[in-house]
């Protein structure tokens, strides 16, 4: 069982927007602005998409955005494209466990 809770799957049609949630506790998401998100295509290494809750790495599409409210962080992908189909993982600094990951969310582009 992962420390952070993500939905197992989400789906959307091309052009639509989707949001993936990541729920934590007072010892991780609530207490720190160190949430990051990773995209992983099958057989590939993960790729950083969002860090420090809402910052995008240089060169990354602005279709990807991050936010946090209370114990839940969110990744929003707008203008969904076929190549966005992948697994997405959230992670956070944790006072008790140092680094915790979510269980991952499989995004299907219909």
Partner 1 sequence: EVQLVESGGGLVQPGRSLRLSCTASGFTFGDYAMSWIRQAPGKGLEWVAFIRNKAYSGTTEYAASLRGRFTISRDDSKTIAYLQMNSLNTEDTAVYYCARGGGSARYYFDYWGQGTLVTVSS
User: Does 34 interact with partner 1 (rule: CB under 8 A)?
Assistant: yes
Cα angle: 99, vertex 73, 42; to 5 degrees: 70
Q: Tokens representing 60?
A: 């990354």
User: Does 64 interact with partner 1 (rule: CB under 8 A)?
Assistant: no
Other Cβ atoms closer than 10 A to 33? 14
At its nearest, how many Å lie between partner 1 and the CB of residue 34?
4
User: Does 47 interact with partner 1 (rule: CB under 8 A)?
Assistant: yes
Helix residue spans in 8-66 (DSSP H): none
Partners of 32 in the beta sheet?
Answer: none
User: Does 62 interact with partner 1 (rule: CB under 8 A)?
Assistant: no
Residues within the interface to partner 1 (CB under 8 A): 2, 32, 34, 36, 38, 40, 45-48, 51-52, 57, 89, 91-93, 97-104
């Amino acid at each position: 069982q992962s420390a952070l809770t993500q939905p197992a799957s989400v789906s959307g049609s091309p052009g639509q927007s989707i949001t993936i949630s990541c729920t934590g506790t007072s010892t991780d998401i609530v207490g720190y602005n160190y949430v990051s998100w990773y995209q992983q295509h099958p057989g590939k290494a993960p790729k950083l998409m969002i860090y420090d809750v809402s910052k995008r790495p240089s060169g990354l599409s602005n279709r990807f955005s991050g936010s946090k409210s209370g114990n839940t962080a969110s990744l929003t992908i707008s203008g969904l494209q076929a190549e966005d189909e992948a697994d997405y993982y959230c992670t956070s600094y944790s006072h008790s466990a140092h680094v915790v990951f979510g269980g991952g969310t499989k995004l299907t582009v219909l």
